[in-house]
Amino acid sequence: MTALPRWMEPLLEAGEMRELDRWAISEKKVPVEQLMERAGEGLAGVIARRAPAGRIAIVCGKGNNGGDGIVAARLLRAAGREVEVHAVWPPEWMGEDAQAQIKKLPGAGPIPFEAGRLNKAHVIVDALLGTGSSGVPREPAARVIEEMEAARAPVIAADIPSGVDATTGEVAGPAVHCVATVAFHRPKLGVWVRPGKAYAGDVEVVEIGIPRGGPARPDAGLIGAGVLRDMPRRTSESTKFSSGNVFIVGGSRGLTGAPSMSALAAMRAGAGYVTVGAPASLELSFTVRLLEAMMVGLPEDGDGHLDVSGEEQVLKAIGRADAVVLGPGLSKAPDAQALARAVIPRIDVPLVIDADGLNALVGSVEEILPQRRWPTVLTPHAGELARLLDTTSEDVERSRLRHAREAAAITHAFVVLKGDDTLIADPSGRVAISRGRAPGLATAGTGDVLAGVIGAMLAKGMPTAQAACAGVYAHVRAGQIAAAPHGPDGVIASDVIAALPAALSA
Please report, for residues 3, 27, 273, the alpha-carbon distance to residue 213 in angstroms, rounded to integers and kept in the order given: 12, 12, 45
132 burial via Cβ count (<10 Å: 0-12, 13-18, 19+): middle
Q: What angle do CA 462, 399, 191 make, to 5 degrees?
A: 75
List residues forming the annotated binding site for K(+): 65, 126, 162
End-to-end CA distance of the chain: 31
Contact 423, 432 (CB under 8 A): yes
Number of residues in the chain: 506
List residues forming the annotated binding site for AMP: 418-422, 447
CA 26 to mean position of chain CA atoms: 34
List residues forming the annotated binding site for (6S)-NADPHX: 64-68, 130-136, 159, 258, 329, 381, 448
**DSSP conformation class of 23:** I
CA 300 to mean position of chain CA atoms: 38
177-189 b/e with 16+ CB inside 10 Å = b? bbbbbbbbbbbbb
Please report, for residues 1, 32, 60, 255, 284, the alpha-carbon distance to residue 38 in angstroms, rounded to integers and kept in the order given: 31, 10, 17, 57, 66
CA–CA separation, 260 vs 239, rounded Å?
23
Q: Is residue 242 left, alpha or beta, with left meaning phi > 0 and alpha meaning psi from -120 to 50? A: alpha
CA–CA separation, 287 vs 295, rounded Å?
7
Q: 8 - beta bridge partners? A: 223
List residues forming the annotated binding site: 64-68, 126, 130-136, 159, 162, 258, 329, 381, 418-422, 447-448
Beta-carbon contacts of 134 under 8 Å, excluding residues fewer than 6 positions away, are 14, 165, 166, 167, 168, 170, 172
320 burial via Cβ count (<10 Å: 0-12, 13-18, 19+): exposed
CA–CA separation, 472 vs 377, rounded Å?
12
CA–CA separation, 317 vs 297, rounded Å?
9
Q: Which of 156, 167, 157, 99 is nearest to 132 (CA)?
A: 167
CA–CA separation, 459 vs 5, rounded Å?
21
Cis peptide before 259 (omega within 30 of 0): no
